[in-house]
Structure 1
Amino acid sequence: MQGKPRSMPHDSDTAAARIRIRHFSKSLPMSLLRAREAVMRHFRASLRRFGITEQQWRVLRALTSGDSFEVTELAEATFLLAPSLSRILKDLDERGLILRRTLKSDLRRGLVSISPQGLALIERAGAESEVIYREITGRYGSERLAELQSLLRQLEECLDGPEIVG
């Protein structure tokens, strides 16, 4: 004997209230993802013109901030999982955009740095990137953008450390 099917609530506010969590649209992770998507929408066409993905750009940009990185440091700096980073590094290496070597003291540990070709790509793509940044700054305002970046840094610092458990 089958029971009567339960109807699904049509009003998402009612559903959220029933399970006592904030509405999906007010979720901090979703708000951050929507903002990231809005920003990245402006950069993607430029990255495609240069034949690189968002993740490859992230790796190349990180590599410009130091002489060389251990692979684990690079994964942490770019928020990429090791398997994804491994594929990205393989592609960037094949394209001559990075240089890879192993530490003489420990052959299991790899070092990665940006190649001259990678720097040239960053210079060309970076010029376009700065144009996009100027457009975003013009729309949003330089003070508001600086404030947003400061608030995001403060949020990150505040939440850095032990996980919050409910």
Structure 2
Amino acid sequence: MGDPDDTPPPAALRHFSASLPMLLLRAREAVMLRFRVMLRAHGLTEQQWRVLRALTTVETIEASELALATFLLGPSLSRILRDLEGQGLIATGTHAADQRRKLVRLTAAGGERIAAVAPRSEAIYAEITGRFGEARLAALQGLLAELQASLAQDGE
């Protein structure tokens, strides 16, 4: 080891608390704290709920597309799909033209679980909206969508 005086000065960085990734993570955590207890009461994890919510927007979806839509890695999604299928909330099958492609769909029981969770989920959204303000929340959602789109232009 050299002389402590030989240590180069640290690179100029913005303060950790002003780091965009950390601000986004803190905001996500503040939001998710409100949902976690409710999801646990319905026997769901955050990731399982994310998958079920994504499945409400399609009739059937390929697992690879579902992974992209939910920002879940393939191995994690495989485990989540296995667990959800074991609970009877989803059904999986293979694509008729390509047996390697896994298809996923929501079952009636999955739809019932979503219907059971939806009122409390919407109440949480209403609480967040009430605390933050409807216009500010809409503006934030718009800004976040714009940020994502502007960064996606580089090919992610």
Alignment TM class, shorter chain as reference: over 0.9
Are residues 1:56 and 2:48 paired? Answer: yes
Q: Percent identity?
A: 54
The code of the aligned residue for 2:28 comes to R
Tell me how large the CA RMSD over aligned residues is.
1.7
Q: Give 2:63's aligned residue.
A: 71
- Give CA deviations for 1:112-152 in whole Å, capped at 9, x if unaligned: 00000000000111111001111111100100000000000
What is aligned with 1:114?
106
Query: Structure 1's 163 and 19: CA in aligned 2 closer, same or farther, altered over 3 A?
Result: farther
Q: What is the aligned length?
A: 153
1:3-152 to 2 correspondence within 5 Å? 6=4, 18-152=10-144
**TM-score, normalised via structure 2 length:** 0.93
Which letter maps to 1:30?
A: M
How does the TM-score come out when normalised to structure 1? 0.88
For the pair shown, the structure with the greater C-alpha radius of gyration is: 1
Q: Which amino acid aligns with 2:109?
A: Q
Q: Which has the higher contact order (CA 8 A, sep 6+)?
A: 2
Kindly report structure 1 stretches of 4+ aligned residues shifted beyond 3 Å: none
Distance 1:163-1:23 versus aligned 2 partners, 3 A rule:
farther
Gaps of 5+ in 2: none
User: Equivalent residue for 1:12?
Assistant: none
Deviation at 1:19, TM superposition (A): 1.2
For residues 70 and 18 of structure 1, what CA distance do their matches in structure 2 show?
Answer: 47
Q: What SS is found at the alignment partner of 2:99? A: strand
Q: What's 1:14 paired with?
A: none
Distance 1:153 1:67 in 2: 25
> Take 1:140 and 1:76, find their aligned partners in 2: how far apart are those partners?
29
